Structure 1
């Protein structure tokens, strides 16, 4: 059973900047409060403050946080260590970054019980197995013997939840726990989280920018912007009668409408024929030990946007990497403007490199943390355009304007930006080369709905004005439908179907396409219950 959480005038600052501004709210025992808002709104900062924790360079400068009978912000270092992982637990967005790859899963899941001395190792392992069952993990009796790399991303996310719940905390904080997952995996994880929270009557804080996911989890929603509360209400009230204009903008952006580009399909730009690719040294038959792509065929014309959807591991990113020259195909061909592209990026001409740019999924690892944003954007402008001096600085400012970032960002390091801001820098760097084809690998997956919608509108504008083409990789079918003329459906490295815009909403389609479409949460309460009611019991246990 969860505890009462009372937050009164919580204030978090970083130097002269106020990140959370006199925030007050109450969560009753057993309720789930969702914190929503755009990147930089203070969601995660607020959630971490409930544990008495702030990021480096920040401080909790005012207010109070009470969990049950504990005044969290008055606790010293040792009592805070005793509180974290015992009274309050935290489920992070990236499970892969949260586990030690050198230790077994069971060792790590039971570790909080050892730290806090709540039970013996044998009792902890027995409880862990029970949690594995509650979280619908496969082979619950033996999965703990595996190592993190031996389970899928969705399974690892649920294992992190088991680690957080094993001490029976009074408050559970879930920080974007399904954002990085593909839609079918997200539903499995969301279903498991919700069932465990409900059955254990846990008090929970759910941080997200996905209103459709929040609608399935939360009792109440607190809308944040610039560290300030815009409104707080029941989930039903927020979804049906939002009081604040900002909340209405979040709802409007949550499901982007189709962005018509009115771009007439031009010359054939890219032709992929019988493409196969994988990882590892080729064997005598010319095949790698790990074959990821097999016999992929499609054509993309100038000004066109083609979406590629599928679960994690379906080969979407490997396809983009092969086109970009970052992995050499073992079979097939890639023609660009009718000319064969060399298989490796180092073999391609400077002009070919300029014409095909890629925006990677993980902005954190795609940007050099030691270089300023100005320097990051200057490199392609100097390399491809030869710009320097005032012309260089002017173009950097234009690129920042283009992706809706303040020009002051130019002097900052990537570590000082939010996830959404870093992804926009990623896009600006690709645009600096003025390419004809941009390979977008989950370019909006880390963005909040408002910023994501702005980026999609920007991409549509670039298609209209410049005739730029896109290969748009995503697991979000709504996003793909809003920006793409056609959708390629992939599973296990193979192309299953290719659907034109006119046929998005009418079938018949491949069953896997229908599964992906049915797995995208709708922005209303009860959607997940209705979906589960329509599935056989065996499907819910997987």
Structure 2
């Protein structure tokens, strides 16, 4: 029965929600402070804030759930007429997956690799008895189609590893929606996706939510993303709602200083590169990659791997400069870093450090060569040993490369922590006690302990929230100014690569399709794939997703069958600027444009500029309506 103070149009009502963290022998720590929220029927409310702001904790509370070492200490949560926090374990089990559904950040972790997709998608409907198996299978196919999955009638027969990350994320949405829940919680569902895949997934999610009139909570740290999904946004920090309002108001006229800082962090500050000394051009580059090929799997008689990942890659990194490498998942970015580090041996070409060829794998390299090239991986959780203290983590490379031990090592650990702007007290803590941003700073300090010439930064900000990621970019720039270190900065985020890089290389399917300085990739003409990446970067305004969807999904002009030539353009099947009789018949040549960029394309500089300008004008004029 509806209570007197419950508004008839309010579907979800939260009053005085308080969540605390508990440890044996220690006082409780309040994580969420007396939160009040209302969500209307059919409304999408975004919860946004940095890591540790309490947004996921609040979202899980709507299901009556608290994570390990946490408990819901007070308040009420109502979904419809149900007081969620008063339910016993059986009633909560009946609620979850039936009336309230949850879509997690990592789809890969949510699926059993030994069962088909269809079996797992319909499981919730069978457990809750909402329909027969046959009806559930038909409903699943209907959802696959609504979520724009390929081959919706048969994709359910595949196993999770047989679909892409973006497809699996949409399959997980089908799993959540199979029971027609009253409330769906989307917890950072596109954070791990590259920008072009993110457009597809956001379009699919928004379409299904709108068509079915669902009430939804969208958890994210990215204002540009939630701006495309939400009707209203609640901004959180330290477990407190700092501001709540309509999406347009939050994006365009944020009132609270914290919200203003989030809006400012959406686009990283574009700092001009330092002036390159004249002698730097005359000296040998720090690192040169010449016509490198690399891949995985068993090699044939000629020494070529079964699965080729990198093909004919050239790249130059000068001292004290940053080269950004950008591309979608699977483009070969991480493989390139591993080839430089010696973790993946190349099968052709050469890598030169200070003009001297580097051995292709670790076994032939000297300790000094190891020292001079360090790598910082994307996920600090798996890169750092959770058993070791920060001091022990940093002391190991100090002993290995410089023979520092005892008091000398402790002093250097303190200096390294100061370099990455961490308190000396952090040295005695284990990495499990640190935030995501702190872990990544320790990860960077470990690389700096070797005193390297080059640091390979592999998606070092992609797992971090917007504000923390921006702080890491600032730190990298500061360290470069202080130490003169060079970076290879790998990312799928065009804004971040522009913010930190002197030169940028664009990879697609293992090929270098464009390269040039940071200004060359700021405006047309661009390689058609670079143009797609730039067009797919989220912008904090409500109409952006409609325009991006139009650009990314416009019908391709039909062309004849491609010739059986392995050197044809790898982007041919997705290119909206392809030319019949040319692109499908001959390999593209490398062109040098007036802005200094090198572009692997048949189209001339003038033709690309005209075509890309026309696409932008058309998208704005149509407002994304096809």
Q: TM-score, normalised by structure 1?
A: 0.96
2:392 corresponds to: 375
1:7 corresponds to: 14
Q: What value does the CA root-mean-square deviation take over the aligned residues?
A: 1.9
Does 1:23 find its partner at 2:30?
no
- Name which of 241, 259, 267 aligns with 1:247: 259
Bigger mean CA deviation after superposition, 512-521 or 11-20: 11-20
Does 1:37 find its partner at 2:44?
no
* Structure 2 runs not aligned, ≥5 long: 1-8, 23-27, 557-623
- Between the aligned partners of 1:502 and 1:144, the Cα distance in structure 2 is 45
Summarize deviations over 1:80-135 as a string: whole Å, max 9, x none.
11111111111111111211111111111111112211111111110000000000
- Summarize the Cα distance change of 1:117–1:237 in structure 2 as closer, same or farther, 3 Å threshold: same
- Summarize the Cα distance change of 1:264–1:87 in structure 2 as closer, same or farther, 3 Å threshold: same
1:208 corresponds to: 220
1:512 corresponds to: 529
- Summarize the Cα distance change of 1:53–1:346 in structure 2 as closer, same or farther, 3 Å threshold: farther
| Contact persistence 1:109–1:162 (CA under 8 A) | yes
Q: Name the structure, 1 or 2, with higher relative contact order (CA <8 Å, separation 6+).
A: 1
1:395 corresponds to: 412
Note the C-alpha offset of 1:397: 3.5
* 1:52-451 equivalence runs, <5 A: 52-264=64-276, 266=280, 267=283, 268-451=285-468
- Summarize the Cα distance change of 1:366–1:486 in structure 2 as closer, same or farther, 3 Å threshold: same
- Summarize the Cα distance change of 1:502–1:526 in structure 2 as closer, same or farther, 3 Å threshold: closer
User: What is the aligned length?
Assistant: 540
- Summarize the Cα distance change of 1:536–1:106 in structure 2 as closer, same or farther, 3 Å threshold: closer
- Summarize the Cα distance change of 1:104–1:380 in structure 2 as closer, same or farther, 3 Å threshold: same
Summarize deviations over 1:425-474 as a string: whole Å, max 9, x none.
32222222221111111111111111111111111111211111111111
Bigger mean CA deviation after superposition, 23-32 or 378-387: 378-387
| Contact persistence 2:273–2:502 (CA under 8 A) | no
2:608 corresponds to: none
- Name which of 454, 460, 464 aligns with 2:477: 460
- Between the aligned partners of 1:119 and 1:344, the Cα distance in structure 2 is 56
Note the C-alpha offset of 1:79: 1.2
| Contact persistence 1:420–1:446 (CA under 8 A) | no
Note the C-alpha offset of 1:224: 1.0
- Between the aligned partners of 2:382 and 2:98, the Cα distance in structure 1 is 32
The structure having more radius of gyration, on CA atoms, is: 2
- Summarize the Cα distance change of 1:69–1:375 in structure 2 as closer, same or farther, 3 Å threshold: farther
- Between the aligned partners of 1:439 and 1:18, the Cα distance in structure 2 is 39
Does 1:522 find its partner at 2:534?
no
* Structure 1 runs not aligned, ≥5 long: none
